[in-house]
Structures are given as structure tokens and as C-alpha cells.
């Protein structure tokens, strides 16, 4: 399906946007980031993906305080500000946005509520499509557990942070409410104004003898395998597949495209693992 959309885009691009300036924006997930290129994505991932750009300097790595509710000035407001600065400074007319985890929710807030902020319509008009890597579109039961103050609060501090507003927002019942009211793109709701394509992680593997289990960091993957026990059989250790596929359209599930049919843990879907970076690079 995405190939059809790509063909249509290429035709329109050829006819009407010969001078288009293509840009890439990388949007991190839950947490307060000040150097997401180094700390969240890692530079090898960033540098690999941006090779797909006609001008490899036309990229931005977002750094915002995604510990707040998605509509907050420090979340969507910060994202809108940095995207607007990027668009204006580089003259971007065609922007591919790649989000990870809760970053998909913040991006979807902007796309769903164009009248909320005067900067939103211009951002939406420049988006070609959004690639949502392990997007938490329907929240996660782990956020429920953290907010209830169970053992998950200490066990998941490294993954979620503690009882922040962003974690509170990602409780499954809360996301059900937002999806039925404020957000577009889920079943029974109007479509988003631009494509929103999901890359879904389906499993976590941490065999100590398997080198693939070390991609992205063995300790982080091991933690995700532990938390996976509280999720469905199809999950990336943080999100059920149903949450990752909850908004927009399925692009692909990990094992159908990754080298060696490897699954992507929630950690690995933001790292240079199993050829993911090359797929994202080529998509630009």
C-alpha cells in the first residue's frame, strides 16, 4: 500500500514540485531530551538515515520535554517550535517525519488539531508522511502499572521515567479517551491529514549466545523481555502490537522486513539494528 502512495507522491513531485526541498525530522519518545541524537537515537542511526536526503544537511533531531501531556507547551509546543524553525531556516517544502514511541502521540496531536496553534497548519502542509516507529497510539498496560504505584514504578524507571504526565497520558483508558475525542486516525475516527505509517515491533529476544540480542544494548533488551511478560504475545516489551498499529496504516511488522527476520524490541526500533536504518533511509 505504501508503494502505491509513493508512486502517487513521485508523480505529483515530478509534475508540481521539481524544486522541492526535502527535509527529515526525528522525533524522540517519552523523556526530557537535550541531545537526542547522541542519547536517544545514536549518531550512527541518524547519519545512516539522513543519507537518503538529496541534501544530507536538511535534517533536525528534536529535543523536547516529552514528560508532559502531548498538548503541553513543552511537548507539542516545543515540537512545533523546532519544526517551524527547521522549515523556515532550510526552506523545507517536503518533510518526512520519523517518530518513536510517545513521539507519535505528540506528532499526531499537531496533525489532529490544526486550530490549536497558529504554527500547526504550516507544519502539516509541509509533511509528506510520518513514519511511526513503535508508536504508543493506544497506550500501554505498563503505564497503568506505573501510575498505580506497583513494582513497575521502580522496575520501569529507566524506560518510562516515573509518574510523569506523559506516563499518565499513556494509560490505556486515557488513550482510549483521547483517540475518541482529540486525536484522528484511529478506527471510527476521521483520517489524519497526511499519511501515518506504522513500523511494529513484535517480540524481544535476549539469548546470551545470540549476537543479535546485543543490538541497542543487551541490558535494555533484557529489561524489555521481563516487562513483556505483562503484555500480549505480540509486543516489543513496552507496547502491544495493537497499540503500535492503533492509528494510521500498517507499513510493516519487523520480521517481514528485518535482516534475518529478526524482531525489534522497543529499544531496537530507535537504533541501527537489522537493516532498519536502510529501510528508513530508502523511504526518504
pLDDT tens-digit profile of 172-192? 999 999 999 999 999 999 999
| pLDDT value of position 156 | 59
| pLDDT value of position 24 | 99
| pLDDT value of position 227 | 86
| Total domains present in the chain | 1
Whether 10 maps to a domain, the answer reads no
Contact status, residue 41 vs residue 271, Cβ threshold 8 Å: yes
Whether 257 maps to a domain, the answer reads yes
Whether 92 maps to a domain, the answer reads yes
* Run of H or E residues at 59: strand 59-61
Whether 4 maps to a domain, the answer reads no
Q: Residue 35 belongs to what domain range?
A: 21-283
Looking at the chain, the whole-number percentage of residues with pLDDT higher than 90 is: 80
Residue 116 has pLDDT above 70, yes or no: yes
Measuring CA to CA, which residue among 196, 187, 199 is closest to residue 246?
A: 187
Lowest-confidence range among 56-60, 82-86, 152-156, 217-221?
152-156
| pLDDT value of position 15 | 47
Whether 13 maps to a domain, the answer reads no
CATH code at 104?
Answer: 3.40.50.1820
pLDDT tens-digit profile of 121-151? 999 999 999 999 999 999 999 888 888 876 5
Whether 110 maps to a domain, the answer reads yes
DSSP string of 91-159? T-SEEEEEEETTHHHHHHHHHH-TTTSTTHHHHHHHEEEEEEET--TT--HHHHHHHTTSTHHHHTHHH
Amino acid at each position: 500500500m505504501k508503494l502505491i502512495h509513493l508512486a502517487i507522491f513521485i508523480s505529483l513531485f515530478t509534475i508540481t514540485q521539481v524544486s522541492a526541498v526535502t527535509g527529515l525530522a526525528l522525533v524522540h519518545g517519552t523523556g526530557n531530551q537535550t541531545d537526542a541524537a547522541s542519547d536517544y537515537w545514536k549518531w550512527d542511526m541518524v547519519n545512516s538515515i539522513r543519507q537518503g536526503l538529496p541534501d544530507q544537511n536538511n535534517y533536525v533531531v528534536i529535543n523536547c520535554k516529552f514528560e508532559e501531556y502531548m498538548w503541553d507547551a513543552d511537548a507539542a509546543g516545543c515540537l512545533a517550535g523546532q519544526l517551524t524553525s527547521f522549515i523556515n531556516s532550510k526552506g523545507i517544502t517536503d518533510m518526512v517525519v520519523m517518530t518513536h514511541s510517545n513521539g507519535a502521540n505528540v506528532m499526531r496531536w499537531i496533525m489532529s488539531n490544526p486550530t490549536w496553534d497558529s504554527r500547526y497548519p504550516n507544519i502539516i502542509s509541509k509533511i509528506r508522511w510520518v513514519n511511526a516507529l513503535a508508536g504508543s497510539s493506544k497506550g500501554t498496560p505498563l503505564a497503568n502499572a506505573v501510575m498505580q504505584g506497583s513494582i513497575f514504578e521502580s522496575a520501569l524507571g529507566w524506560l518510562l521515567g516515573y509518574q510523569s504526565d506523559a506516563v499518565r497520558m499513556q494509560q490505556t483508558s486515557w488513550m482510549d479517551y483521547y483517540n475518541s475525542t482529540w486525536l484522528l486516525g484511529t478506527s471510527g475516527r476521521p483520517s489524519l491529514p497526511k499519511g501515518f505509517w506504522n513500523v511494529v515491533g513484535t517480540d524481544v529476544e535476549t539469548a546470551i549466545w545470540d549476537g543479535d540480542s546485543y543490538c541497542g544494548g543487551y541490558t535494555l533488551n533484557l529489561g524489555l523481555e521481563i516487562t513483556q511478560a505483562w503484555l500480549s504475545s505480540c509486543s516489543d516489551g513496552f507496547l502491544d502490537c495493537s497499540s503500535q498499529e492503533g492509528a494510521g496504516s500498517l507499513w510493516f511488522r519487523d520480521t517481514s522486513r528485518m535482516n534475518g527476520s529478526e524482531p525489534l524490541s522497543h529499544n531496537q526500533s530507535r537504533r541501527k539494528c537489522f537493516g532498519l536504518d536502510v529501510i528508513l533511509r530508502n523511504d526518504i
